[in-house]
Amino acid sequence: MEKKYVHGYTPRESARLVDQATTLAEILHHDTAYPAGSRVLEAGCGVGAQTAILAGNSPGARFVSVDLSGESLRAARENVDAQGFANVAFHRCDIFRLPFADESFDHVFLCFVLEHLPDPAEALSSLRRVLKTGGSITVIEGDHGSTYFHPDSAYARRAIQCLVDLQAAEGGNSLIGRRLYPILRESGFRDVSVSPRMVYVDSGKPGLVEGFTKNTFIAMVEGVGDRAVRAGLTDETDWGRGIRDLNRTTGEDGTFIYTFFKGTARK
Ligand SMILES: C[S@@+](CC[C@H](N)C(=O)[O-])C[C@H]1O[C@@H](n2cnc3c(N)ncnc32)[C@H](O)[C@@H]1O
């Protein structure tokens, strides 16, 4: 059941997911809180980077966090236990074959998962089945097409495009943020609302330079370098220039901008 996906399951990727979640916690999660007693399904929890934030923000809610990867689930359990949260249960299962009864959750949450799935609308329909009528779904996704930076560089843009192309070749869509609204509607949800969450980084915000531009975004792009070269999407020289130019945006006069999209809807 362990399945390959574009970012892989390496220790470096696990650290990147935790950096990403911690750095973006305020921007992405400040308005996510579940009432005490409610039962929440987190789909595609990975190493639990978002789980710990959700559990901490809603201590009275009970979370069931699921993922395909047994290894990621073990890391997630350790992460959540280490932070002392007792309100999370973990299950290994596939979003497309959820082992839960119809209408058994009050809320559903997923973050950075649809972008990796060949049929995101089908995944949402599967999640909708286990959601109670009137319950809410919250979906957070990025959109690599929303990236711009200073100094601009065609090499850096090309390196990002390599990731977009590789992910597409694996059946994913790293430009999915802009499609959240139509996909949620297509999957039968009502009261759909999507809000952009822009991350703006300059050297006056050293926490974001490190936590977001370097350790989240550039680390993500760097992670596909070997595959991009092997696939003939770039060569080592151009790739090196692209990564060097992305790193220049973290300098004293550099800026880096990216937008996430957070959608909420009801069944
Ligand atoms: C980029 S990670 C995001 C993890 C976590 N939500 C976060 O934001 O840190 C995507 C996760 O989705 C999981 N995943 C992909 N397809 C899945 C499926 N069909 N069912 C369950 N989990 C899936 C992967 O195993 C991976 O852990």
- In this predicted structure, what is the pLDDT of residue 159? 98
For the cut 50, the answer to whether the pLDDT of residue 1 exceeds it is no
* Burial of residue 158 (number of CB atoms within 10 Å: 0-12, 13-18, 19+): middle
Distance 5 CA to ligand 1 centre (A): 9
Q: Nearest-CA neighbor of 259 among 153, 175, 203?
A: 175
Q: For 139-158, what is each residue's pLDDT tens digit?
A: 999 999 999 999 999 999 99
- In this predicted structure, what is the pLDDT of residue 2? 44
Distance 79 CA to ligand 1 centre (A): 16
* Burial of residue 133 (number of CB atoms within 10 Å: 0-12, 13-18, 19+): exposed
Distance 63 CA to ligand 1 centre (A): 16
Distance 81 CA to ligand 1 centre (A): 20
- Shortest-distance Cα residue to atom 14 of ligand 1: 44
Phi/psi class of residue 188: alpha, beta or left (left: φ > 0; alpha: ψ in -120 to 50)?
Answer: left
Give the binding-site residues of ligand 1, using a 6 Å CB cut-off: 5, 7, 17, 21, 44-46, 49-50, 67-69, 72, 94-96, 111-113, 116-117
- Ligand 1 pocket check: which of 94, 113, 117 to mutate, most ligand atoms within 8 Å of Cβ? 113
Instruction: Quote the tokens at residue 158.
Output: 């090309």
Mean pLDDT over residues 224-233, rounded? Answer: 97
- In this predicted structure, what is the pLDDT of residue 4? 58
Residues composing the chain: 267
**pTM for the model:** 0.93
* Burial of residue 1 (number of CB atoms within 10 Å: 0-12, 13-18, 19+): exposed
How far is C-alpha 37 from the geometric centre of its chain's CA atoms?
A: 26
Q: For 12-34, what is each residue's pLDDT tens digit?
A: 777 767 777 778 899 999 999 99
- In this predicted structure, what is the pLDDT of residue 28? 95
Q: For 159-191, what is each residue's pLDDT tens digit?
A: 999 999 999 999 999 999 999 999 999 999 999
Q: What is the mean pLDDT of the chain?
A: 94
Percent of residues, the chain, with pLDDT higher than 90: 90
- In this predicted structure, what is the pLDDT of residue 14? 78
Q: How far apart are CA 166 and CA 233, in angstroms?
A: 9
Q: Let me know: does 261 contact 195? Beta carbons within 8 Å.
A: yes
Count of CB atoms within 10 A of residue 40's CB? 25
DSSP 8-state symbol, 9: S
Distance 262 CA to ligand 1 centre (A): 17
Task: Give SS3 for 6.
Answer: coil
Percent of residues, the chain, with pLDDT higher than 70: 97
Q: Let me know: does 143 contact 263? Beta carbons within 8 Å.
A: no
Higher pLDDT, 192 or 21: 192
- In this predicted structure, what is the pLDDT of residue 5? 62
Q: For 60-113, what is each residue's pLDDT tens digit?
A: 999 999 999 999 999 999 999 999 999 999 999 999 999 999 999 999 999 999
**Residue 110's beta-bridge partner residues?**
43, 139
Instruction: Quote the tokens at residue 77.
Output: 């359990």
For the cut 60, the answer to whether the pLDDT of residue 44 exceeds it is yes
The DSSP code sequence of 182-204 is HHHHHTT-EEEEEEEEEEEEETT
Mean pLDDT over residues 206-228, rounded? Answer: 95
- In this predicted structure, what is the pLDDT of residue 12? 76
